[in-house]
Structure 1
Amino acid sequence: MAVVVASLGRPELIRQFCDLMARQTSSPDMLLFSVVGDDDIPAGLEEDARVRVIRGDKGLCAQRNRALDWLDDRFDIVAFYDDDFVPSKFSIESIRAFFAAHPQVAGATGTVLADGINGAGICFDEALRIVQEHEGRRFAPNCIVRELWGLYGCNMAYRSTAIGRNRFDERLRLYAWQEDIDFAASVGTNGRIVKTFAFSGVHRGVKLGRTPGIRLGYSQVINPSYLVRKGTMSRRFAARLMLRNLVANHIKALRPEPWVDRAGRAKGNWIGLLDLIRGRITPERIEML
């Protein structure tokens, strides 16, 4: 089993993630960090047979693809974590057990106990407290909860044989909003895509290093439209996703949260809508905004 973490400009989170992997009841066979440059890595991080760092172009999809190419077919299971995810200490052990028990599953997402992505974020100590409290309950049934169309990218694992030559779509640049839905839909042709209680953790939603509002707002319109045209997202889901974000950005722009650039997101929404009307479905334009 390999664990992949793509990161940019957040070396402290990589240091914390190494500590979290050290407390696992079962260690991954490979912990692979895909970064852009040396500044992304904490001082003193030592590479060995089980920990490696690879460097290259920035962008979540490009960084994850670089990891998949490096791993090739040498590992049976590949788990993807965000650098600000705090997994339960039983996660690696449970992922192994889950895929062994469910051979028809191509990919699975675990249980997110708390998610700071839509709030101010969750500090590391609080995230660890939530995880440890959950561990004390020992509630991690090795079961399939339900079928999914896509997985949550902060906390997902795939069978390598199901991934095959599938890769993340690098037209979804930078933060690559909805890349997890697209990738899961592609891999899902080779097996079931599911949610499970078997492994879990907390997504902190750290704001440092995230996409500026105008860029994310543009992606909120153009990326779903692009995935509908590509066939990896349904029209209904895309319309609901776009409408929800459009409404939230414009209403909350009147009294924005301190941690969200609502005005920038609303502006990006309108640029995306105008491009959509013109028939310009170009997710890579995010880099020019």
Structure 2
Amino acid sequence: MHITLIVPTNGRPSLVSRLLAHLERQTLHPDHVIVSATTPNDIEVRPDISFKVSYVFGDPGLCAQRNRAMALCDGTTDIISFFDDDFVPCDSYLETLSRVFREHPVYAVVTGDLLADGAQGPGLGFDEAVAMLDAYRPSSLPAHVRDHPGAYGCNMSIRAQVIGDLRFDERLPLYGWQEDIDFTSQLRAHGRIVNIGQLWGVHLGAKGGRVNGVRLGYSQIVNPIYLIGKGTMQRWFGIRLICRNLVANTLKSLRPEPYIDRRGRLKGNMIGFAHVLTRRADPEHILKL
């Protein structure tokens, strides 16, 4: 199956370069990789890559960058995969992905397991991730298949024919927060959204290029409310998400981690709640914070 891999990036040229080089280890190379950046300064062109790589540039914002890349996909594409620029896949990832989509026509969206997620801590180094992948030995037990409300955007793949005119919601600016749930949940009518244990990788959780604490905190409150109203996020899921982040930011702001702006996030949470209560909540307001 023809696989187009989309990698949005902003301000991480060396990381993108490492990822492209690492993709050479795939047992099945992607047919086309589209790096969606903001300026040429975001990339380091590698002449030693054996597969097709294209670059597209435009305004920053995860949703907008993904949409620009999708516009370059042609009718030959069977699978559109989205990798964060700090996701490091196992060597068999794309070969397994192709087989899974071919053997299971009921799958609309597929996402893999994370051996480690640096976004939940101080972050991981690229070499550290590669060492984890090389050392990992999958269990001989049958790999799990779990249905999910939506995919985790650091590694998600979609059967191209079900996408149609659907695009990522650019009212979720900058980091986009929950744009993955918004987009993939709308594809449930076309098939299952599954996490499968046959795919795995490591999410570095690189800290450079991310949204500041106040903006992210605002999005943690307002984006779920917006998506619940839009009908793309289940109410129970959104409320649980809001409560979990609010509690974590409140408690951990007393002794914040050095790599997370907990007090900034809590301030953003409070601004978000004030806007919800006064009916001024707008995901795009983070551009003014």
TM-score category, normalised to shorter length: over 0.9
Query: What do the CA deviations read for 1:68-112 (whole angstroms, capped 9, x no partner)?
Result: 111143300011000001100100111101101110110011111
Q: AA paired with 1:110?
A: G
Q: 1:101 aligns with which of 103, 109, 118?
A: 103
Residue 221 of structure 2 aligns with which residue? 221
Q: AA paired with 1:190?
A: H
Q: TM-score, normalised by structure 1?
A: 0.95
Residue 154 of structure 2 aligns with which residue? 154
What aligned pairs does 1:31-42 form with structure 2 within 5 A after superposition? 31-42=33-44
Q: Kindly tell me: are residues 248 and 264 of structure 1, through their superposed partners in 2, closer, same or farther at Cα, counting changes over 3 Å?
A: same
Q: Secondary structure at the match of 1:180?
A: helix
Q: TM-score, normalised by structure 2?
A: 0.95
Residue 268 of structure 1 aligns with which residue? 268
Give the conservation status (yes or no) of the 8 Å contact 2:29–2:51. Answer: no
Give the conservation status (yes or no) of the 8 Å contact 2:24–2:49. Answer: no
Residue 116 of structure 1 aligns with which residue? 118
Residue 133 of structure 1 aligns with which residue? 135
Give the conservation status (yes or no) of the 8 Å contact 2:30–2:51. Answer: no
Give the conservation status (yes or no) of the 8 Å contact 1:98–1:143. Answer: no
Residue 248 of structure 2 aligns with which residue? 248
Distance 2:5 2:149 in 1: 22
Q: Secondary structure at the match of 2:187?
A: helix
Gaps of 5+ in 2: none
What aligned pairs does 1:1-289 form with structure 2 within 5 A after superposition? 1-44=3-46, 50-134=52-136, 137-139=137-139, 145-289=145-289
Q: Kindly tell me: are residues 263 and 138 of structure 1, through their superposed partners in 2, closer, same or farther at Cα, counting changes over 3 Å?
A: closer
Distance 1:142 1:81 in 2: 25
Q: Kindly tell me: are residues 241 and 53 of structure 1, through their superposed partners in 2, closer, same or farther at Cα, counting changes over 3 Å?
A: same
Give the conservation status (yes or no) of the 8 Å contact 1:217–1:264. Answer: yes
Distance 2:91 2:139 in 1: 13
Give the conservation status (yes or no) of the 8 Å contact 2:249–2:263. Answer: yes
Distance 1:140 1:5 in 2: 32
Give the conservation status (yes or no) of the 8 Å contact 2:10–2:38. Answer: yes
Identity %: 47
Q: Kindly tell me: are residues 112 and 232 of structure 1, through their superposed partners in 2, closer, same or farther at Cα, counting changes over 3 Å?
A: same
Give the conservation status (yes or no) of the 8 Å contact 2:17–2:46. Answer: no
Distance 2:218 2:161 in 1: 34
Distance 2:51 2:29 in 1: 12
Q: AA paired with 2:92?
A: F
Query: What do the CA deviations read for 1:181-220 (whole angstroms, capped 9, x no partner)?
Result: 0011112221111111121100010101111000000000
Q: Kindly tell me: are residues 194 and 256 of structure 1, through their superposed partners in 2, closer, same or farther at Cα, counting changes over 3 Å?
A: same
RMSD across aligned C-alpha pairs, in angstroms? 1.6
Q: Kindly tell me: are residues 29 and 201 of structure 1, through their superposed partners in 2, closer, same or farther at Cα, counting changes over 3 Å?
A: same
Greater CA drift, 153-162 or 39-48: 39-48
